[in-house]
Amino acid sequence: MLRWADVLADRSLQNLAYKIELDAEGRIVMTPASNRHGMFQSEIGGLLRQMLSDGRTINECSIATDDGVKVADVAWASAAFLREHRLATPFPVAPELCVEITSPSNSRRDLAAKIATYLAKGAREVWVCDAKGKLTFYDHTGALKKSKLAPRFPGKISLA
C-alpha cells in the first residue's frame, strides 16, 4: 500500500497534469486538471487572502483521512492551525476551510463524501465551486446561505 510520502518521492508521478489522491487502500486516484479549474483555484485563493487575515491559503492541500489522502483544491488555514501543524504533509486534520472545485468526473455522491470527510477531519466549512463558478457553502449543520467564516465572499466567481 502506498503512503503519501511514497507518492511525493516517486519521480514518475511528478509533473503530471493530474491531481493525485490516495483511496483507503492506498491506491492512486487521479483527476485531470483543466485551466478553468486552475483559474477558479487562483480566484478563490486570492479572494480568501483579501478577506481572511491571520492565516494562509493553500492550493492542493493534502489531508490524511480515514478514506486515504484527499487533496482540497483550495484551503484556508489559520495561523494557529499552521503553528500546530507546520508543514506536515499530509496534514493530520483538515484546515478550517476546504474548497472543492468540481470536475466533469465528480459525481454528487463523490462531492457529498468529500464534504463529509473534510468536516469529519475538522474543517469548519467546506465550499464547492461548480463549473459555472457558483459556490455552495457547508458546515456541520448542512448547506449554508453564505459562509460564516467569510460572510462577504461572493456566491459566484466570474472568470470573465
SS3 of 31-46:
EECCHHHHHHHHHHHH
**Contact assessment for residue 113 and residue 67, using Cβ atoms and an 8 Å cutoff:** yes
Angle at 95 between CA 112 and CA 59, to 5 degrees: 85
Q: Determine the average pLDDT of the residues in 101-108.
A: 87
> What is the pLDDT of the chain when averaged over all its residues?
90
Is pLDDT at 108 greater than 60 in this prediction? yes
User: What distance in Å separates the CA atoms of residue 146 and residue 137, rounded to the nearest whole number?
Assistant: 6
Helices and strands of the chain, counted as H and E runs: 4, 8
Give tens-digit pLDDT for 26-66: 777 767 678 898 999 999 999 999 999 899 999 999 999 99
Is pLDDT at 148 greater than 80 in this prediction? yes
Which of 72, 155, 152 lies closest to 114, judged by CA?
A: 72
Longest dimension (CA), the chain: 43
- Written as one letter, the residue type at 136 is T
Residue 160 is predicted with a pLDDT of 82
What is the CATH superfamily name and number for domain 34-144?
tt1808, chain A (3.90.1570.10)
DSSP state of 11: G
Residues 6+ apart with CB under 8 A from 32: 17, 18, 19, 103, 105
**Contact assessment for residue 103 and residue 38, using Cβ atoms and an 8 Å cutoff:** no
Q: Find the range with the poorest average confidence among 56-60, 102-106, 114-118, 148-152.
A: 102-106
- Written as one letter, the residue type at 10 is D
- Written as one letter, the residue type at 12 is S
Residue carrying C-alpha cell 493530474 = 18
